[in-house]
Amino acid sequence: MSWLEHTVFIATVLTLAHPLGTYLARVCERRRTFLDPLLQPVESALYRLFGVNADQEMSAVTYACCFLSFGAGCAVLLFLLLVMQHVLPGGPADAYLTTPMTMALAANTAVSFTTTTTWQAYAGENTLRYLSQVIGLVAQNFLAGAAGLAVGFAFIRGIARQSSATIGNFWVDLVRSLLWVLLPLGFIGSLALIWQGVPLGLSPYTLAHTLEGRTQVIAQGPVAALEFIKNLGTNGGGFFNANGAHPYANPTPLTNFIGMLAICALPAALMITLGQLTQRLRAGWLLLSAMVVLFVGGLAVCEHAERTLPPQLAELHLVGGNMEGKEVRFGIGESTLTTVVTSNSSTGSYNAQHDSYRPLGVLVALTFLLLGEVVFGGLGTGVYSMVMMALVAAFLGALMIGRTPEYLGKKVTAAETRWIALYVLTTPMVVLVLTAIAVLTQAGRAAVSLNSGPRSFTEILFAYASCMANNGLALSGLDANNVFYNTTTVVAMLAGRYGLAVLALVTAGLFAGQRRVASSGALPVDTPTFALLLLGTILLAAAVSFLPALAMGPVAELLQR
């Protein structure tokens, strides 16, 4: 039945894209919405409290500085909370908190959750207090998600506006993203999860006496407060070690479907917001359809890989696909859907253990991480991930026909091209250099002893690709809680979040200063031809950078037998 579920999923995302995109455009442009009577008093009270003049706009550089300072503030607050968590009251009992909250782990977690990466080098149920999870992590799931959406709004404005020195006010975008989007949707979604069985309590771990006369201790906690917003804010880090595979975090196929929808719906809708505000709606739909093509392609390959019994088990007379690390309630279909959704959207909320995937299944997830989250992408950040690639495609297309490159009515001149090129080069530089360092050092290699050969290399490459994409998915055979990985992954997370966002904002600032040109016979960007060019550009850019690395990892493993 998985083809039906996959089709319904994509159809739902596309159906929601227009209404949600229109709503997001209203939030972005501070136009009237039905929630205004309820939220405007809160909004203005917050501005007064912060000392923010909501009508005072910012240049791209000022906007980026505010974004950076907010992220830094959040990281410091979360770090302090984590290192002092032993003084917090409430569960779970100390006996269960077996992983020490070291400085390196606290710093890693603080950066991880404030960059929407939510890479987790710890297991929630034996590391964190309930209150650390709520006051610390739930808050950051909201705030980092909202900050990302704010940057997305600013980026869209930069392309949409003409002769403007400013691209919006970060504090206004942040507050409006929270009040108008994440808090109301987060509340409804969290209630839906509770209805389906996600617990929300502060009681100690439950001691059960089983029918067979033994005991089982069951970890509890305020799980539902985290599990929906982790997806909606495209963060992904779960309450428990097993994340979305844990039956408390993701009890039914419906909760999984809702979670995947929460991840994709807003980033997909932002393509329509972009199209509306730049008055190039067709170009917005075109970007969305290019995403769907990549999505469907990856899903088909991953589904095929995992439906097939691994050859190592061929002689054992087993029936079914590769169920190692997968849950019965999700089966192969919902596991692969989740793999493709999460690896694409900077949301590492997996529901199956990817290290037990077949090499081809891993290759799909890894490729999507390395493409730079262009398919839907992170909340807000996905807009510029895709548009930056579209700018490269427009540039290449223009070279072919010998015209000045244009995109969405803006000329791509030498000034913008410099920043775009830097943007495109950042991901391969960071990922490949860090992977090389890990492979060359004893500390880097010592962490991948569970599996061996090409899979060990893949685990390392996957870790940095995931952190650079602010994704947080992991091949968990990698033992990540040590000083080496706690520090090096931070570098990738910071580069992926702030490095790329600043480059995108600066580019948007340059576009904002331009007048919109009437189409001058340049390459049209809302035709199937451009979609093909865009897809080719995305795949080729990744292939040029990463093919050798992929060949040493999943491809080598694939060819092993």
CB 430 within 8 A of CB 466: no
Tokens 């390196």, located at residue: 104
Q: Which of 23, 122, 142, 419 binds other proteins (CB under 8 A)?
A: 142
Residues 50-89 within binding reach of other proteins (CB under 8 A)? 50-52, 66, 69-70, 72-74, 77
Dig out the tokens for 504 from the structure. 């995108």
Pick one of 148, 152, 222, 378: the residue that binds other proteins (CB under 8 A): 222
Q: Contacts with other proteins in 11-50 (CB under 8 A)?
A: 46, 49-50
- 316 lies in the site for other proteins, by CB under 8 A: yes
DSSP run (H or E) holding 413: none
Question: Minimum distance from CB of 374 to other proteins (Å)?
Answer: 27
**Binding window for other proteins (CB under 8 A); candidates: 105-113, 201-209, 436-444, 513-521:** 201-209
C-alpha dist (Å) from residue 21 to 26, 98, 451, 480: 9, 45, 44, 38
Nearer to other proteins, 135 or 415 (CB): 135
Q: Binding of other proteins at residue 178 (CB under 8 A)?
A: yes
The DSSP line for 12-34 is HHHHHHHHHHHHHHHHHTT---T
> How far is 481 from 485, CA to CA, in rounded Å?
7
Other beta carbons within 10 Å of 300: 15
Q: Which is nearer to other proteins, 203 or 404 (CB)?
A: 203
Options 267-275, 425-433, 445-453, 514-522: segment touching other proteins (CB under 8 A): 445-453
Candidate segments 31-39, 266-274, 355-363, 379-387, binder of other proteins by CB under 8 A: 355-363
Distance CA(169)–CA(46), nearest Å, equals: 14
When binding is defined by CB under 8 A, the residue of 246, 410, 411, 516 that contacts other proteins is 246
The one segment of 136-144, 282-290, 483-491, 493-501 that binds other proteins by CB under 8 A? 136-144
- Give the distance from CA 468 to its chain's centroid: 10
Nearer to other proteins, 8 or 543 (CB): 8
Furthest-apart CA pair in the chain: how many Å? 79
Does residue 282 belong to the site contacting other proteins (CB under 8 A)?
no
From residue 294 to residue 313, the character string flagging contacts with other proteins as x (rule: CB under 8 A) and all else as - is ---------------xx-xx
Site for other proteins in 484-513 (CB under 8 A): none
Q: Per this entry, what is the length of the chain?
A: 561
Q: What number of chain residues touch other proteins (CB under 8 A)? A: 119
Report the residue number, 247 or 297, with the smaller CB distance to other proteins: 247
How far from chain centre, in Å, is Cα 387?
Answer: 16
Shortest Å, Cβ 46 to other proteins: 7
> In the complex, what is the shortest distance from the CB of residue 34 to other proteins, in angstroms, rounded to a whole number?
20
Cα separation, 263 vs 259, in Å, equals 6
Cα dihedral sign, 548-551-552-554: positive
Instruction: Kindly state whether residue 329 participates in binding other proteins, applying the rule CB under 8 A.
Output: yes
Q: Which is nearer to other proteins, 238 or 284 (CB)?
A: 238
Q: Please name which of 169, 166, 239 lies closest in space to residue 198, comparing C-alpha atoms.
A: 239
User: How far is Cα of residue 263 from the mean position of the Cα atoms in its chain?
Assistant: 8
